[in-house]
Chain A
């Protein structure tokens, strides 16, 4: 017999509860293993020690300031990617030959392991925020360009025809028809630019030991503050989760309903 009808609250929440409990059980096993000495504390400190390190991260390691520094670099990088990527994407759409010639280049660039070229950027820009922002901007740019072009290319022909029938000039066509139609795809591009920027900012900060959260992780590793290092890693993961949830909400808000 197939059950129909709405599920109870318990039935709806059961999977989430099981998932959460599984995480708790794994943490408990880790804690017990650390207490019994089965796990080397220089490899993985006990979860409780990690949790206890959190207040210290805020009071002694300047976690809040570093958080803002990382996210400032992220928004600067993504902002540059948006400001340059949207016009570039529009140009690739507007000039079909340019689109044919360069779209695959941008796609290949998106897949390029740019981060391994960080010594190069260090030599050119120095060990400072410029290296971080430039590298992160370059990582987010292809997504912005390609999603902008994709959105403009996908504008329904019938909408363009309607605009033509109303005698709209090119500029009016762009602002009243093309851009609104491309907003969902552009919103995805903005979200991707932000995601790639954050990943690169934290990664490059870690590699060059400069900046915010990434530098903190490397610094704590250098000082053998392992519970705090793990705590900082957890904080970065939680920040990423919150950030991506937020950008997802913004993207959904920008998309038309229905």
Chain B
């Protein structure tokens, strides 16, 4: 009882803090524990944002529109790692947001795998097989359709299977043949030889050169406090450099995901290359716009010039 009361008091205080006028910024992050989305979390942990006089309060979402809704409505100031396609779709409809940096170019982290006893070794073996993606219109959906097209597979059966844990169970229990995944789920089974990877997102040259996810700021925040956004970007860069240089970052990632240091190191080495998270250049924008039109996210084909005002890369090193 003595321990519970102070904890309850802390809970009340934190709940009240939602309504208090604090000098902090709220940041929405999808998928807690993922290496690239951990950049902000690591930065908060190491005090890089505090050094820039930024108090960051992190809110985790389920990804997709929930992250976008949060920043568009102004209930968070920043949304990290949100889909480029989704944000363009919202911007075209008048959403008050700006992209202030890239988050990930290509999809080095997404892979497709199958049980090692399935007989499937590569995408060429997926004729007539079920191949999963998370949800219609998601990046995993777009990537697998591209990979299948490039491999000349026309008779595989793409199936939406939802999140990584549910997909993993469906693969291991034989409900689907090939599942989509991202580290660290599956790495232990990969190491034990229970599953094999049949394709990776970056196998496609087109995908490799496309900025899939971006970091977004609410327009009112940017207009009112551009300096804070610049400082945010600077702290983000420092966090990025630190995550790839400091070996403690691997332990941090391992602890967040309840995996061993060894598996965490494998995830970083094989799936999260630093060049993919370089934040200053948006790549493959025309391809993103073409995909947005094909997925009915925008009503008419568009060119990069038409969406230029959406992009405001507030800071680069050396500027």
Contact = CB atoms under 8 A, between A and B. Distances in A.
A and B touch in the complex (CB under 8 A): yes
Interface of B: 64-65, 68-69, 72-73, 86, 89-90, 93-95, 135-137, 160-163, 165-166, 169-170, 175-176, 296-297
B129 to A, nearest CB: 16
Interface residues of A, number: 19
Given A209-B135, A223-B137, A122 B166 contact: yes
Given A223-B297, A224-B68, A224-B90, A122 B73 contact: no
Nearest to A220: B65
Nearest to A123: B169
Given A119-B165, A124-B169, 5 more contacts: A122-B163, A221-B69, A222-B86, A223-B137, A224-B90
Contacts, number: 54
Contact of A42 (B89, B95, B162, B166): B95
Contact of A222 (B137, B169, B170): B137
Interface in A206-241: 208-210, 219, 221-224, 226
Contacts of A172: none
Nearest to B63: A222
Given A123-B169, A127-B162, A223 B296 contact: yes
B46 to A, nearest CB: 32
12 contacts: A41-B94, A122-B162, A123-B165, A126-B161, A126-B162, A126-B169, A210-B162, A221-B65, A222-B64, A222-B65, A224-B65, A224-B89
Name the residue among A41, A127, A209, A219 with the largest chain B CB count within 10 angstroms.
A127
A43 interface: yes
Nearest to A226: B93
Contacts of A43: 73
Interface of A: 40-43, 119, 122-124, 126-127, 208-210, 219, 221-224, 226
Contacts of B170: 126
Give the top 5 A-B pairs by smallest Cβ distance, nearest first: A127-B162, A222-B65, A122-B166, A224-B90, A123-B169
B258 to A, nearest CB: 17
B141 to A, nearest CB: 12
A209 to B, nearest CB: 5
A126 B135 contact: no
B297 A208 contact: no
A175 B71 CA distance: 62
B90 to A, nearest CB: 5
A248 B69 CA distance: 38
B166 A224 contact: no
Nearest to A229: B65
Contacts of A226: 93
Contacts of A208: 162
B166 A123 contact: yes
Contacts of B176: 126
A78 B175 CA distance: 26
Nearest to B74: A40
A226 B296 CA distance: 14
B89 A209 contact: no
B244 to A, nearest CB: 32
Given A124-B169, A126-B166, A219-B136, A224 B64 contact: no
B175 A126 contact: yes
Given A123-B166, A222-B137, A223-B137, A42 B160 contact: no
